[in-house]
Structure 1
Amino acid sequence: MDYKAYKSYLSNIKINVRDRNSVHSKQVMSSTFSQSPSYFQVNINGESNQEVWITDDGDVREQKNIVTLNCPLKLGDLVIWKDKTWLCNHVDDMDIYHRGVILICYSTLKWLDDQGEIQETPFSFKSDTSSSFGIQEGRILMMPNERRQITVQKNNQTEKIKKNRRFIIDGRAWKTVGINRLIDGLINLTLEEQDLIPADNLDLSIADFMGNIADYQLRVLNVKDIVAIEENQTLQLNVELTNNSKVIEVYEQITYSVADETIISVSPTGLVSPLKKGTSKITISFRNISQTIQINVTSSTTNNYTAQIIGDDFIKYNMTKSFTCSFKDNGIDRQEKARFWLTETDSVTPTTLATLIEQDGQVCKIKANNKKGRVILHVENSTRLAYTTKAIEIKSLL
């Protein structure tokens, strides 16, 4: 065996021995883990029944040591232990176990985000004096010159906190004058006391509340509270979402639910498709607001459009006459805008015997020229489903 191969062999032996020792030690610890008086089942970041050891750290009541075997710890982890929230502000990853330090969170920080929605996160105190004297339960330690340093978990919402953001803590107003985001998982905020203003809500402990809280409104623009569609039709709901009267585009967060899914179905984009005759309701929701509409699915009908042109069969030279049309669907009048045009008797070639000088709604005016002949007046409705013609003679004055 050459030197390199022998060196690799020795290295593998050392690794295998260390791995075996690590596994053995972990097995020993695990077997005695639940027998320890420091053993607890806690909630970490929403995951319940996490097995940990928690021990006191000297006389500092607000600080504890925590050890886990199978659950890696991270800075900023929120631990729920004995109905209180603790923030992990120090971690050490060992070969066999994970250990860290957690600080108690006596309260939560509340604020309104850019959309006017309430955000909330637990916070712990971070100061030089707290490590010497501790934080007495039920009393919050104030730093000199009316400043406080607090620590919060780094997440999508706390990352958006900027300088001059105001908060309410202990019934007093505080402004952010310093932010440290350099620590993974944690954000340290330096707060300075401010005067309260009328917009502050002391009951909710939210600064700058009045006039900034979200006010979402949901409206369906193209239908009423009750709408009927036929079995062979679909209906696209046109939904508008506003916040403080300003239209916002978060349509992917709007949800649709159907009371009776055997009658209708609705897509995530609000397209309603009938399945059979009947009545069902659709509830359109966004956050904590909703609107309900009723959909009546009726039998499909066959359209039978007809058109008629009313007027004389002739026009004399250089004279003008009016013609009116009517449209019907299954014998029922349809007030639709008409389109008129003139051709020769082949129904294709434009005519020079008369001129269409005006058309409005379902009425047109035609002026004859001074040449004898016959023209064809055409008319159709806006959907082109109703169409007819009328032959008109152009006669001399004699």
Structure 2
Amino acid sequence: MINLLNPMDDFTFILANAGRDVLINGIETRALVTNTSIKTDYTDKYISTLTEIKQGDRIEHNGLYWLIVSEVNGKRYEKYKGVMRVCNHIIGFKINNEPVCIPVIAYGSSIGVTTNQYISIPKNEIILTIQKNEVTEQIKINDTFVKWGKLYTVEGIDLTLPGLMHLHCSQSLSSNNVEFICTEAGDINYTPWYITIEGETELEPDNTYSYIAKVYDGNGIEHDYLKVIWSVSDGANSTIDQEGKLTAYTSGENITIYATLAETNIVGQLQVSIASQSITYSITGANEITHGYSANYTASKLIGGTADPNAVFNFSIDYLGNSNSIATLTVINNTQCSIKANRSVYYINLIAQDASTLETVSKEIMLKSLF
């Protein structure tokens, strides 16, 4: 039975039995959604709820986003009631160089949606109605976005209706820019997009490794159609190409790999390290040189047990306090030298210094007599 004295009780009963769970600006509540009696070109519905609503609020109902487009003049019969209109698109804007997915009500003959008889829109222009919130308020004149394969520029922003923004946008003929494909809103409770990098983190020198970057929006949805720009930390000897292939060079090097979403501030990072390899040195040649004769000596640098073909040594003699006339040093090339014994009997040390690391190796040599 209808309670004429307390209609609040009747609405509570109807809300409990015929209402739906909806989200109002991301917060769950119970609401009664009904068809409007007004014929329009839009998909409009009434929403009635005990929760306070206002013009510009965004409703999630039946898998779609809606905006309250009517004024809500306070509580009437202990409930709030307004008209909501379905958002027919979700557009990926770039706000402060970061992608943001925003549900919109889009109007324009070029996209097959026209407004009512009181508004006329040029062929290459569209109007977007969006919720006014902390994120969307950062949209500025001359901001751009890509939709329907075309680049649009925001040329006007209408803020005359509380809670709503009307963006007047014009299109370019074509666009090479990438469209951010959106399936969920990302402006309310905004969470930035992010990039993860997958691949090895413990590397060996002189090897090539492949890395994969994945771009996610704030809702954790992957956007695998987006390409990234690869780079490594400044000063790194290792290199990475735009296919994500890293060539590791210097042992013991710590590197940061970066994957950046083009024309945005979205950057993923991965720390990798190249294993240090043991370096050993040796000098080969005779232990003794007879007075008046010469002998050749070779210095070697082994990295991980493999000879370094690019090694360069600086050779010198430690005469152990004796005159430097007792032996003569002649450098043959980067790794070889010759010593002639001018006198006997003496001991000297041949020293080879690695030109790159300044590490040294020495060999004791006896200058002996002929007899």
Offset of residue 126 of structure 1: 8.6
Which residues of 2 match residues 11-22 of structure 1 at below 5 A?
A: none
TM score, norm. by length of structure 1: 0.50
User: Aligned partners of 1:248 and 1:395: how far apart in 2?
Assistant: 76
1:221 equivalent among 210, 232, 246: 246
1:344 alignment partner AA: Y
1:163 is paired with a residue whose SS is coil
Structure 1 partner of 2:154: 176
- Report whether the alignment pairs 1:102 with 2:76: no
Structure 2 partner of 1:88: 68
Offset of residue 325 of structure 1: 2.9
User: Aligned partners of 1:309 and 1:239: how far apart in 2?
Assistant: 42
Structure 2 partner of 1:344: 319
Structure 2 partner of 1:309: 284
Question: Structure 2 vs 1, CA of residues 69 and 340 (structure 1 numbering), >3 Å: closer, same or farther?
Answer: farther
Q: Is this contact kept in 2: 1:326–1:333, CA < 8 A? A: no
1:342 is paired with a residue whose SS is strand
Structure 2 partner of 1:280: none
Q: Is this contact kept in 2: 1:378–1:390, CA < 8 A? A: no
Structure 2 partner of 1:241: 259
The CA deviation string for residues 20-71 of structure 1, in whole angstroms up to 9 with x for no partner, is xxxxx9x96895363464x221244556x5312335565165444434445x
2:244 is paired with a residue whose SS is strand
Q: Is this contact kept in 1: 2:89–2:104, CA < 8 A? A: yes
The CA deviation string for residues 239-280 of structure 1, in whole angstroms up to 9 with x for no partner, is 353667x9988234x6xxxxxxxxxxxxxx34699xxxxxxx
Structure 2 partner of 1:323: 297
1:251 equivalent among 250, 257, 268: 268
Aligned residues: 291
Offset of residue 189 of structure 1: 0.6
Task: List runs of 5+ in structure 1 lacking aligned partners.
Answer: 1-24, 128-137, 206-212, 225-232, 255-268, 274-300
Offset of residue 86 of structure 1: 0.6
2:86 is paired with a residue whose SS is strand
- Report whether the alignment pairs 1:375 with 2:348: yes
Structure 1 partner of 2:120: 144
Question: Structure 2 vs 1, CA of residues 87 and 310 (structure 1 numbering), >3 Å: closer, same or farther?
Answer: same
The CA deviation string for residues 194-233 of structure 1, in whole angstroms up to 9 with x for no partner, is 563375999x99xxxxxxx953255252459xxxxxxxx9
Structure 1 vs Structure 2: percent identity of aligned residues?
17
1:59 equivalent among 38, 56, 63: 38
Question: Structure 2 vs 1, CA of residues 84 and 373 (structure 1 numbering), >3 Å: closer, same or farther?
Answer: closer
Task: List runs of 5+ in structure 2 lacking aligned partners.
Answer: 1-5, 183-224, 229-241
Structure 2 partner of 1:196: 173
Ranked by relative contact order (alpha carbons within 8 Å, sequence separation 6 or more), the top structure is: 2
1:325 alignment partner AA: A
Structure 1 partner of 2:102: 121
- Report whether the alignment pairs 1:79 with 2:67: no
RMSD: 5.7
- Report whether the alignment pairs 1:41 with 2:16: no
1:140 is paired with a residue whose SS is coil
Offset of residue 178 of structure 1: 0.4
TM score, norm. by length of structure 2: 0.52
1:391 alignment partner AA: I
Question: Structure 2 vs 1, CA of residues 28 and 357 (structure 1 numbering), >3 Å: closer, same or farther?
Answer: farther
